[in-house]
A and B are shown apart, each in its own frame.
Chain A
Amino acid sequence: EIVLTQSPATLSLSPGEGATLSCRASQSVNKYLAWYQQKPGQAPRLLIYDASHRAAGIPARFSGSGSGTDFTLTISSLEPEDFAVYYCQQRLNWPLTFGGGTKVEIK
Chain B
Amino acid sequence: QVQLVESGGGVVQPGRSLRPSCVASGFTFTTYALHWVRQAPGKGLEWVAVISHDGSDKHYADSVRGRFTISRDNSMNTMYLQMNSLRAEDTAVYYCAISIAPTGDAFDIWGQGTMVTVSS
Interface residues of chain A, those whose CB is within 8 Å of chain B, are 1, 32, 34, 36, 38, 43-46, 49-50, 53, 55-56, 87, 89, 91, 94-101
* Chain B residues touching A, majority SS: loop
How many A-B pairs with Cβ below 8 Å? 64
Q: Is the CB of B44 within 8 A of A99?
A: yes
A-B contact pairs, 6 of them (CB 8 A): A36-B45, A44-B107, A56-B101, A91-B106, A94-B59, A101-B45
* Chain A residues touching B, majority SS: loop
**Interface extent on B, as a size class?**
20 to 34
Is B88 interfacial (CB-CB < 8 Å)? no
**B110 touches which one: A43, A50, A56 (CB < 8 A)?**
A43
Q: Which residue of B lies closest to A97 (CB)?
A: B47
Q: Is the CB of A98 within 8 A of B106?
A: no
Q: How far is the CA of A97 from the CA of B47 in the complex (A)?
A: 6
Q: Is the CB of A87 within 8 A of B45?
A: yes
Residues of B with C-beta under 8 A to A99: 44
